[in-house]
Amino acid sequence: MTEQTDLDRINAVFRVYEVRTNGSVIKYYGEPKVDSKTLFTHLWNDFAQRRYDIELRREHGEYVLMATPMRDSGEKKHINVILAIATVFAIMLTGAVLFYSVNPFAQPLLIYRGLPFAAAVMFVLGSHELAHYLVAKRRGMKASLPFFIPLPFISPVGTLGALIRLKGAIPDRKSLFDVGVAGPLVGLTAAVVVTIVGLLLPPITPGSALMPTVGWASRFSLR
């Protein structure tokens, strides 16, 4: 961020009269031309694309715009993958029991019947979380991959949903709002698509969709 074109963009909101570097940290000494909110909105994405966080502070009576490299959080992505696979299985298991009265202990090979249900739920849930993630990245924010939460039997759909973590500073309220609203809007669209597809598919045959308590009770009843 020390090239002339970069300095020109910084000077549009922060008049720079001196630049110092300390290793990978860059300090721009100068005077703000706008309020801090406008300054961050103007410069945040430029620095974020170069993997820098920015901070406005005062040192010895001078304003300093300090750019520091974003830290690698060492995120263990395999945890996200394991949780996603576990959630698919949990939803598939719940769907098999709920709609086909499959006894997972006596009929483990029939659990696959819940796969269409798992695909539908994961499509809606994944779309919702992916929207949060992509918008956060677009706004220059550091976000984790979705953490899916499997919960078979207790949850009526086999999962408690998912979440992402925002790490580091947030550029402004508008960016936070955009990240927050993106998930529900995309998730709602995905839900409408799933609903339309479901209405076009043939219904489950009567008798195969008994509640699991009824199906299981009939298997274990005394004769």
From 20, 49, 69, the end of a domain falls on 69
Q: What is the pLDDT of residues 116-154, one digit of tens each?
A: 999 999 999 999 999 999 999 888 788 899 999 999 988
Distance of CA 4 to the CA centre of its chain: 36
In sequence order, what DSSP letters do the residues of 198-223 get, joined into one string? HHHSPPPPTTSS--HHHHHHHHH---
What does the alpha-carbon distance between residue 29 and residue 14 come to, in Å, rounded to a whole number?
A: 9
CB 123 within 8 A of CB 148: no
By the 10 Å C-beta count (0-12 exposed, 13-18 middle, 19+ buried), 80 is classed as middle
Question: Is a pLDDT exceeding 60 seen at residue 209?
Answer: no
Q: Quick: pLDDT tens for 82-118.
A: 999 999 999 999 999 988 889 999 999 999 999 999 9
Residues 94 and 129 placed together within one structural domain of the fold: yes
Q: Looking at the structure, do residues 58 and 163 belong to the same domain, yes or no?
A: no
User: Residue 191: which domain range?
Assistant: 77-220
Q: What is the average pLDDT across 72-81?
A: 79
Q: Are residues 54 and 128 in the same domain?
A: no
213 and 136 within one domain: yes
Q: Which residue type occupies 143? A: A
Clarify whether residues 82 and 59 are in a common domain: no
Q: How many structural domains does the chain have? A: 2
**DSSP class per residue in 91-129:** HHHHHHHHHH---TTT-GGGGGGGHHHHHHHHHHHHHHH
CA distance 87 to 145: 15
Do you know the residue count of the chain?
Answer: 223
Same domain, 18 and 107: no
190, 129 contact by CB (below 8 A): no
Q: How far apart are CA 100 and CA 87, in angstroms?
A: 19
